[in-house]
Structure 1
């Protein structure tokens, strides 16, 4: 490149820095298409670094296809997450992003791996909500060099993902522990933990945070057992009834994942709704009703719509398509009680 301090940057300068031809630079900057996604990203990156004298923000660009993989929206969290990606696509239409949502048929590792393979064949990025399993992690790791990967709600460390988006799950579990300890008071008592799946790192982190606070600050609170709902809301009622059959003096339940309605139904049927402290996750129509009638004592919410928006923003920035907003670096942990329920829209 020329050392002349006043010479304007040319397309040849950008081509040399990005390691592509001038024709490729021309195709990218004039939106003619036919350029591989990694080359396009390099051209735009170097054009900005070298301060090419043109309005790069207005450069026509091909559509980015973002593969979104998650569970079926049968529970409020995933339904709100789906709405969040719909909102993100509308909000970032100028950046030409398509949010293509695909649902796992089931949570078996082979199904998840095959869904990842199929849904990302023509994708420019991947956002995935999945649990840790060697085969799943290997499938994501294989993708992460050629395309950016975002893990959402539960992290998959060691896969090469560019970011994790979601709350601090260990911190959320610690907040749940603080609430449980204070609600049960000096007498403490027996506590049941209902997790979704142990393999979800987010669920493991919530339980670890919960346990650590009770162990340190509320030693009279005794976690007697952790049971798995397998992310199936219909299982939690039976799990709760079975727990009371084993521990008739159970005083608290921390539901880490789905199925507050099942826990609530069991508590009401057993006449234990008022005498049992129940703490759950995610604000929904169900948890709102349970808070209002006193069955549910507290909800820890993580704003799935904001998580979806944040995921798409990070991918747009990776491709140097500035979304024009500066989101928070961390999704906040929000505690909702009956007295601070937000308005219903």
Structure 2
């Protein structure tokens, strides 16, 4: 060997760079377990950086347990998320990842905090879909000190999460505003906004984007009220009926969250389904049917299944496990009308 030849890296080199013992490196590279998450990640990272002379792609790895905290899949968006996590677990089976879903039974801050704490007790990572509240943000910030956290659909900034996965919600709201303004046309008219929960940052951003476009480009479109559905279809039906009782000349409804079926039921019951512009979110069997019959005019979709898969991909990359795919972190805003409906599954 010449003096200029590069010496092959050894486990001792990896141990020194990662700040661990050679015994720890041996345990990680031979899949013997018993090594803390952060140390395992450092060992694998430095083994790759130093190009240790072994097939690191085949290194046995312990199972990664990813805690998923979200609402029950009783509405189409969360059902698609559930299917997405199931797909991710199947697709990344060789990376030894387990997706464990915990549903939120109650939505008050104390209950959400307790659910997050319970779900992450034996977890290696957290994917969370929830609203912004000081206590919830503090709980997520605490979790992020010991494991990677990904926020999904609605961000929790300042919590130490490694990524937010989802659409640009302000842009989605602006698109909804453009659609509403153009559908209502030159006369404009009164518009109702139905949000899911005011505390969801994503919902707030959608409403702000919607309002800004109407204010700038369609000043004859008058938002007369914003109401909160609490993500319940029965409640969206009642809120829609109440709005028409107060504003008989209502011409447009922007439903920021789930519950299009409730709005549709009210519109059909009142005989207003053809005379009212309805813009909603998330393509599902329900919204597909409403689009086809003409009750729903446009859907803004964000590919919930793809969001779920990408969140798990990011966690695998955090632990230096190559998932073999590279999905875009910023999910595109997709507008679906009756005439460009994708084929049903």
- The question of a shared fold, defined as TM-score above 0.5 by the shorter chain, is answered with yes
Is the 2:256–2:280 Cα contact (8 Å) retained in structure 1?
yes
Establish whether residue 237 from structure 1 lines up as the match of residue 237 from structure 2: yes
CA displacement, residues 192-218 of structure 1 (integer Å, 9 cap, x when unaligned): 000000100000000001001111111
Tell me how far apart the structure 2 counterparts of residues 4 and 117 of structure 1 sit (CA, whole Å).
54
Mapped pair 1:317 → 2:321: no
**Residues 187-202 of structure 1: matches in 2 within 5 Å?**
187-202=187-202
Instruction: Determine the C-alpha separation between the residues in 1 that align with 2:172 and 2:50.
Output: 43
Deviations 1:277-325 (A, max 9, x none): 0000011111111111110000001111000010000000000000011
How many residue pairs match? The answer is 343
Match of 2:206 in 1: 206
SS at match of 2:99: strand
**1:24 and 2:35 matched:** no
Contact 2:106–2:112 (CA<8 Å) still a contact in 1?
Answer: yes
Q: How does 1:99-178 map to 2 (within 5 A)?
A: 99-178=99-178
Instruction: Give the corresponding residue for 2:97.
Output: 97
**C-alpha deviations, 1:39-72, integer Å up to 9, x for none?**
0000001111111111111110000000000001
DSSP 3-state at the match of 1:202: helix
2:270 maps to what in 1?
270
- Which 10-residue stretch deviates more, 44-53 or 311-320? 44-53
The aligned residue for residue 297 of structure 1 is: 297
- Secondary structure class of the residue paired with 2:48: helix
Distance in 2 (CA, whole Å) between partners of 1:208 and 1:61 is 45
Give unpaired runs (5+ residues) of structure 1: none
Distance 1:324 1:18 in 2: 25
* 1-structure distance, mates of 2:310, 2:224: 38
The alpha carbon displacement at 1:231 in A equals 1.4
Return the alpha-carbon distance in structure 2 between the equivalents of residues 249 and 284 of structure 1: 29
What's the counterpart of residue 10 of structure 1?
10
**Residues in 2 aligned to 1:305 and 1:12: alpha-carbon distance in whole angstroms:** 43
Aligned match of 1:183 = 183
Do the aligned residues in 1 keep the contact of 2:166 with 2:329 (CA within 8 Å)?
A: no
**2:17–2:46: 8 Å Cα contact kept in structure 1?**
yes
* Structure 2 residue 226 is the aligned partner of structure 1 residue 215: no
Look up the match of 1:33: 33
Q: Aligned partners of 2:286 and 2:143: how far apart in 1?
A: 37
Determine the structure 2 residue equivalent to 1:67: 67
**Counterpart of 1:339?**
339
Distance 1:237 1:129 in 2: 25
1 CA distance for matches of 2:104 and 2:110?
A: 11
**1:281-292 alignment, distance < 5 Å:** 281-292=281-292
Structure-2 separation of matches of 1:10 and 1:87: 38
* Equivalent residue number for residue 252 of structure 2: 252
Displacement of 1:146 in angstroms is 1.1
**Matched residue, 1:79:** 79
Distance 1:153 1:215 in 2: 26
Q: CA deviation at 1:38?
A: 0.6
Deviation at 1:4, TM superposition (A): 7.0
For 2:329 and 2:129, the matched residues in 1 are separated by 19
Any idea what SS the aligned residue of 2:225 has?
A: strand
Structure 2: gaps (5+ residues) = none
Q: Which runs of structure 1 show a deviation greater than 6 angstroms over 4 or more consecutive aligned residues?
A: none
The question of 1:52 aligning with 2:58 is answered no
Shift of 1:329: 2.8
SS at match of 1:225: strand
